[in-house]
Chains A and B, each alone.
Chain A
Amino acid sequence: MSGMLNSTIARKVAMALSAIFLLIFLLQHFIINFTSVISESTFNELSHFMGTNFLVQFLMQPILIFAVVFHFVMGFILEVKNKKARSISYKSFNASANTTWVSRNMIYSGLVILAFIVLHFIDFWFPEINHKYIEFAPEDPTRYYGELVEKFHNPIRVGAYVIAFVLLALHLLHGFQSAFQSVGFNNKFTPALKTFGKFFAICIPLGFIFIALFHHFNQ
């Protein structure tokens, strides 16, 4: 096991496992957010549960933050090694002949998503932490829907969310199947997994965009 941590394969597998965890989180996040479109009270109930449950707050949330930080840091580490592996670049490199744009530019779509996560933390996470653990403000189980809707009042913020989710869709179009390939999953089910991956990569970000636009235009 000693040499494993430095190997390219182990790092890619770790990267893939954090990606699969984040995919599951993204689906859960989408389902909860989507309830805000259907029922204000359901959204408030679910958000109150997630915001006050001990396991979610003090076990799942630190794991999630670790997974996000790990995924980005490892992505940059791998990118640095990749650049070193070709110290002299080609004068002519016809990459579009054999690869998709999204697969070649995961680092750039990832950087946009990172910028979005910083914005998202400033918008929701920091105020939430401040509310609960610094100001120790009394909990109002009905406050969540109003806080969500208020954020989508600003068209610039909504525009930033839309751009970020388009880039997330592009990231997932390659990343979903790539994560499974990295952990060694490539068999007769791979074509079905690729199809499901494309469905997931398009529908989930599109759903988030719909939620942002719905609340923006519904005010």
Chain B
Amino acid sequence: MNLTLKIWRQKDANTKGKMVDYPISGVEPDMSFLEMLDVLNEELISKGEEPVEFDHDCREGICGACSLQINGEPHGPDRGVTTCQLHMRMFKDGDTITIEPFRATAFPVIKDLIVDRSSFDRIQQAGGFISVNTSGNTIDANAIPVNKDDADDSFNAATCIGCGACVAACKNASAMLFTSAKVSQFALLPQGQIEATDRVLNMVRQMDEEGFGNCSNTGACEIECPKGISLENIARMNREYLSANMKK
């Protein structure tokens, strides 16, 4: 396959970036998208040019490191996959592919296609945990009965890998799907009930402080989420938030 890549290049956080065209040939349909970028970078390095910086780690769709807005969609045109799981067979010979970093005020660009997603870490740190006494008398988690439906919903929420595709897809750059998944995974379990009030209040406050937008319920986040996190989590978080405010 011969392709033209239009890639966002930006030297650093303080420099203005621009789109740069890169023709690439010999791309195999079975390559992953990141392998295709590896090929491009090897060509650039061999020519003495600066390689394109992009985030990646596990390349198995479980770490949430890879990002990229590909042809106007986070993680590209395929559904239920991260960029590392996107294959070049999704494109046609002769295509022009636009590759940009995830765009949000709360996700500032560090370099080229790499953005700073530590705002997600701060939301998580604000309440996305449970406090457990580990001094020796900890109760075995399996000894606490949990309703099967709640356990399944909690597990589904916990599959969120925090990649930021929800923010990237949302027209408002809202982080409601991410935050609600992190709230839900605990809110649905007995272990999460003790700190439930403070958790949702603190996580929502941190989400707002980071500068993310509002949820307009367009559903873009749910469709683009590589893990299929449901909008039900946002409704649950809204209920939790209203309930927590009544208690406080």
- Chain A residues at the B interface, C-beta cutoff of 8 Å: 1, 3-4, 6-13, 78, 81-82, 84-95, 97-100, 103-104, 106, 174, 177-178, 181-187
Say whether B231 contacts A90, CB under 8 Å: no
**Whole-angstrom distance between the Cβ of B246 and the nearest chain A Cβ:** 8
Contact residues of B between 64 and 110, Cβ < 8 Å to A: 69, 71-73, 77, 98, 100, 103-106
Say whether A103 contacts B217, CB under 8 Å: yes
Distance A183 CA – B201 CA, assembled complex (angstroms) = 16
Say whether A3 contacts B211, CB under 8 Å: no
Say whether B103 contacts A13, CB under 8 Å: no
Name the one of A12, A93, A94, A183 contacting B215, with C-beta atoms under 8 angstroms.
A12
Given contacts A8-B214, A98-B220, 11 further A-B contacts (CB under 8 A): A85-B106, A85-B172, A85-B173, A86-B173, A90-B103, A91-B8, A94-B71, A95-B220, A97-B223, A178-B216, A186-B232
Contact residues of B between 209 and 248, Cβ < 8 Å to A: 211-220, 223-224, 231-232, 234-239, 241-242, 245, 248
- B248 — nearest CB in chain A belongs to which residue? A1
A90 and B69 contact, Cβ closer than 8 Å, known pairs A85-B105, A103-B217: yes
Chain B: residues with Cβ within 8 Å of the partner, total of: 49
Say whether A93 contacts B72, CB under 8 Å: yes
**Whole-angstrom distance between the Cβ of A116 and the nearest chain B Cβ:** 22
Say whether A186 contacts B100, CB under 8 Å: no
Chain B residues with CB under 8 Å of A184's CB are 235-236, 238-239, 242
Say whether B215 contacts A8, CB under 8 Å: yes
- Chain B residues at the A interface, C-beta cutoff of 8 Å: 6, 8, 19, 69, 71-73, 77, 98, 100, 103-106, 169, 171-174, 176, 201, 204-205, 207-208, 211-220, 223-224, 231-232, 234-239, 241-242, 245, 248
Chain A residues with CB under 8 Å of B6's CB are 91
Distance A1 CA – B245 CA, assembled complex (angstroms) = 5
A97 and B73 contact, Cβ closer than 8 Å, known pairs A85-B106, A183-B238: yes
Name the one of B105, B201, B205, B235 contacting A181, with C-beta atoms under 8 angstroms.
B235
Interface of B is mostly: mixed
Say whether B217 contacts A178, CB under 8 Å: yes
Most A CB contacts (10 A, CB to CB) among B19, B201, B235 go to B235
Say whether A84 contacts B105, CB under 8 Å: yes
A87 and B245 contact, Cβ closer than 8 Å, known pairs A82-B213, A181-B235: no
Listed A/B pairs (12) with beta-carbon separation below 8 Å: A84-B105, A84-B213, A89-B103, A92-B71, A97-B223, A98-B169, A103-B217, A104-B218, A178-B216, A184-B235, A186-B231, A187-B232
Say whether B223 contacts A98, CB under 8 Å: yes
Distance A93 CA – B72 CA, assembled complex (angstroms) = 4
Say whether B73 contacts A86, CB under 8 Å: no
Say whether B220 contacts A99, CB under 8 Å: yes
- B221 — nearest CB in chain A belongs to which residue? A98
Say whether A3 contacts B201, CB under 8 Å: yes
Chain A residues with CB under 8 Å of B216's CB are 82, 103-104, 106, 178
Name the one of B72, B172, B232, B245 contacting A86, with C-beta atoms under 8 angstroms.
B172
Say whether B245 contacts A99, CB under 8 Å: no
A95 and B98 contact, Cβ closer than 8 Å, known pairs A9-B237, A86-B105, A104-B218: no
Chain B residues with CB under 8 Å of A100's CB are 218
- B220 — nearest CB in chain A belongs to which residue? A98
**Whole-angstrom distance between the Cβ of B116 and the nearest chain A Cβ:** 14
Distance A99 CA – B231 CA, assembled complex (angstroms) = 14
Distance A10 CA – B237 CA, assembled complex (angstroms) = 12
- A3 — nearest CB in chain B belongs to which residue? B205
Distance A161 CA – B77 CA, assembled complex (angstroms) = 40
Say whether B214 contacts A82, CB under 8 Å: yes
Say whether A103 contacts B218, CB under 8 Å: yes
The 8 closest A-B pairs by CB, nearest first: A94-B72, A85-B213, A186-B235, A184-B239, A82-B172, A85-B173, A178-B217, A98-B223
Distance A178 CA – B245 CA, assembled complex (angstroms) = 22
**Whole-angstrom distance between the Cβ of B108 and the nearest chain A Cβ:** 9
**Whole-angstrom distance between the Cβ of B94 and the nearest chain A Cβ:** 17
Say whether B77 contacts A97, CB under 8 Å: yes
- A78 — nearest CB in chain B belongs to which residue? B214
